Every structure is written in structure tokens, then in C-alpha cells.
Amino acid sequence: MKKDSMNYEDKTNVNQIVLLLGVSEGAKTDILLNSINAGKTVKIPEREITYYDWRGVGYIVRAPGIKAGYLISGGVSGGGSVVAMNLSSITSTIVNTISAYYKYNALLVEGWPYPFEVCSKYDVWVANLSLFLLGYSPVLMVPRWTTEQPPDEKLLSILKEGKWKIFYFTGHGDEDGLALTKEGFEKKRNGGALEASEIQGGSSLYNFRMVILNSCDSGSPNSEGPNLWGAFGISETSQNKCFLGFNGTKTFLGASLFYTEFWFYSVFYPQKTIKNAIDFASFKFKIGLKIYGNPNITIKE
């Protein structure tokens, strides 16, 4: 047989040729038992072909006095099966590509915002969109909507999953904790506040690249317990982590505007550093900003 030739098979030469065909055993069986032994003639290529995810062979079966039948090994419609398998391959490629891009997680928390709720919502949603565009998978939590367990326990259990690269909090707070609800803001009751002593877990528990606390005094030293940056596992001299907080001199509106500018800059210049984004923002909005760790790392890892 010549290479890639079309071969006519009938009862006179079937035993010699069928064994030499580079096709599946199923195709050989169909040719031998269902066609040739029934008195038909088969025209078939020497070998199978591969097209996208499909591999097989097409052949012609002819019976005396009857129109030819055109068959594809496996008994399927080649075009339909190739399209289906090709779409499957394309879908798998898309899913894998997206998964590879959005491989890091960010947790955003909208704490108690009174009296400027609109500002808190605005900057946390800008952060949410910006981090998504930067390749993070952001998750937004609003503790005051939590009903199944105390808000501090819920948030703490989420934090301790240890999968977060970025933590962004906007709302009220001080040097020893974050106000999650109105009760937490007023008297730190009913699980409405998450305190530094609860958070404390260090780098052995958390894997943060960056922690941003848009709350009053979050960057001030805590004389009665752990500092917030240390509780989140970021030391003042960390080389691959950064913590941003305030020392109590900022205004709630100004801080939200500062971080709105910060996140916008980070999206448009993803290879720039945290310090670049800080420098871009208006000076009057970043008064009292405290930085611990290394601001010369990029937000996009």
C-alpha cells in the first residue's frame, strides 16, 4: 500500500489489508464484521488523522446496487464532536488563564462608617474594583450585616483562613481595634469591635503582603497591648510587607479621598510601588499617614 492511500477492501483481500491499517480496533471490527462479511466494499485511508481533540478515520461503505454510506470511526458526527471537544479545550484554557491571573485573595471590610457612610462605601468599592483589575480575587464583608454569629468572631474566622494577601478596612477604630458596628464604635460591645489582642497571630497565622486600615489611630502605638501592624504580622522593618494606618490627625472624608486616589493610581500604574501611589495622592489628604514595613513593594505581586 502507498502512504496515505485509499484502500478498497472486500472479501478478496481483507485478511491481508485490515491487519495493516493504522486505525482503531473498533474501526477494524466494524469493517470486517459489519461491512465486508456482509458482502460490502469498504474504501478507507491507510491511517487515522488528528483534528483538534478528535482522532479517527472516515470511510466509505458501498453495497452492490445501493448508495454509498459515509462513516466516521466511533459512530459519531466528526464535525459535532470536534466542535464540542474544541470548545471544551478552549473553555479549559480560559478557566486556567483566569485562575492563573486571579490567584491571590484580598479581603475588604466596611466597618462602622458614621457619620460619613457614603465615603466609606465609595472608597471600599473603588478598592474592590481596583484590586480585581490588578489580578486579585476580592471579597467584601460588611460586619453590621452579620447575623449568624458576633461580627468579631465572623471576621476573625475569615482572617484566620490565612489565604489573604491584602486586607483593607475602612471605618472607625483606634490604636487597639476596629469598630465593626455601631455597638462596637460606642462601647465595644456585642462583638462589634475587633481588638488587636484578638487579631494577634503574626506571620505564623497570616500571609499578608499589605494591610491598610483607613481608621483613626490605627497607626498609633498601643500602650496597653499589641500594635495593630504587629497583630497582623507586619513588623516595622518588614522587607516584603507593608502596613498603612493613621495617627489620629486625619479626617474621615479626607482619608477616603486619599485612598480613592491611591487605588486609582495603582490600577493605571500596576508596576509602581506603594510609595509611588502614596506620593501621587493629594498631600492634604494624607496628613497623619503612618507607614510600617516596606512601601517600596508593588501592590500587584
45-51 long-range contacts (CB < 8 A, ≥24 apart) are 45/4, 45/5, 45/6, 45/7, 46/1, 46/2, 46/3, 46/4, 46/5, 46/6, 46/7, 46/20, 46/21, 46/22, 47/4, 47/21, 47/22, 47/23, 48/22, 48/23, 48/24, 48/73, 51/78, 51/82
pLDDT at 85 over 90: no
Q: Which of 91-95, 135-139, 247-251, 284-288 has the lowest mean pLDDT?
A: 91-95
Domain ranges of the chain: 6-91, 104-293
pLDDT at 295 over 90: yes
pLDDT at 2 over 50: no
Q: Is 175:215 a contact under the CB 8 Å cutoff?
A: no
pLDDT for 286 equals 73
Handedness of CA 126, 129, 132, 137 (dihedral sign): positive
Q: Which of 50-64, 218-232, 278-292 has the lowest mean pLDDT?
A: 50-64
Q: How far apart are CA 148 and CA 116, in angstroms?
A: 27
CATH 3.40.1110.10 is right for the domain spanning 104-293? no
pLDDT for 120 equals 63
pLDDT for 112 equals 82
Q: pLDDT confidence of 95, banded at 50, 70, 90?
A: low
Look at the block and give the residue holding cell 490565612.
Answer: 162
Q: What is the mean pLDDT of residues 77-104?
A: 64
Q: pLDDT confidence of 212, banded at 50, 70, 90?
A: very high
Rounded alpha-carbon distances, angstroms, from residue 86 to 3, 97, 252, 286: 28, 16, 53, 53
Residue type (1 letter), 15: N
Look at the block and give the residue holding cell 497583630.
Answer: 231
Q: How far apart are CA 277 and CA 265, in angstroms?
A: 6
Q: pLDDT confidence of 173, banded at 50, 70, 90?
A: confident
Q: pLDDT confidence of 64, banded at 50, 70, 90?
A: confident
pLDDT at 148 over 90: no
pLDDT tens digits, 189-198? 677 889 999 9
Cβ of 214: how many Cβ atoms within 10 Å? 27
Q: Is 141:158 a contact under the CB 8 Å cutoff?
A: yes
Q: pLDDT confidence of 1, banded at 50, 70, 90?
A: very low
* Closest residue by Cα to residue 70 from 56, 58, 55: 58
- Say how many Å lie between the first and final Cα of the chain, rounded: 60
pLDDT for 144 equals 81
pLDDT for 158 equals 92
Chain-centroid distance of CA 34 in Å reads: 52
pLDDT for 25 equals 78
Query: How much of the chain, in percent, has pLDDT values that exceed 90?
Result: 27
In degrees and rounded to multiples of 5, residue 186 shows phi and psi of -80, -50
pLDDT at 75 over 60: no
Q: What's the predicted TM-score (pTM) here?
A: 0.68
Q: Which of 147-151, 175-179, 196-200, 289-293 has the lowest mean pLDDT?
A: 147-151
Q: How far apart are CA 238 and CA 107, in angstroms?
A: 21
pLDDT at 248 over 90: no
Q: How far apart are CA 178 and CA 196, in angstroms?
A: 8
pLDDT for 231 equals 93
pLDDT tens digits, 259-287? 888 998 998 888 899 999 999 887 667 77
In terms of pLDDT, which residue wins out, 166 or 66? 166
Q: What is the mean pLDDT of residues 233-259?
A: 86
